[in-house]
Amino acid sequence: MQEPPEEMRREFIENWQFTEEGSCLEALRKIEERLHEYVSDQEAEGEIARDAEAEDVLAMVEAWAGLMSYVVLETYGQHSAMRHAGWYADVPLRLRRMCGRLRGPLRWVASNMGALDFSIGVSFPGGVSVSLSWTP
């Protein structure tokens, strides 16, 4: 499992203008393609390499979630030039698919860090959130 490539992050920050929903969908499509390249089918099922560190895998999951959220917030956030009461139907569908791909690695992280539970969720306009919980 690998985190999103730095050049992809820079490209979205430096070269993309998220002024219409089509830009958001195109960016999420690119992220989803890369996610399938960087997170194998086995990893998506929670089969993580034996020598992997839970903190590192969590950081990678959070990096993907952060990239997805950046695109969504740039398009729909309060500071966005677009003003929408909701988002285009394909946006949450695509986000949920990508979250599904990250669920296995996050389950593995929770187990290896002794967390009681974990969640990965999609919300408007925030994008994707990742959390782990422990009993007090």
What pLDDT, in 10s, does the model give residues 4-43?
889 988 898 888 888 777 888 999 999 999 999 999 999 9
Measure Cα distances from 49 to 42, 107, 108 in Å. 10, 14, 11
The radius of gyration of the chain from alpha carbons, rounded to an integer in Å, stands at: 15
pLDDT value for 54? 95
pTM of the full predicted structure? 0.90
Find tokens 């990250």 and name the residue.
Answer: 102
Residues of the chain with pLDDT under 50: none
Q: What does each C-alpha distance from 87 to 54, 93, 114 come to in angstroms?
A: 34, 11, 36
pLDDT for residue 5: 86
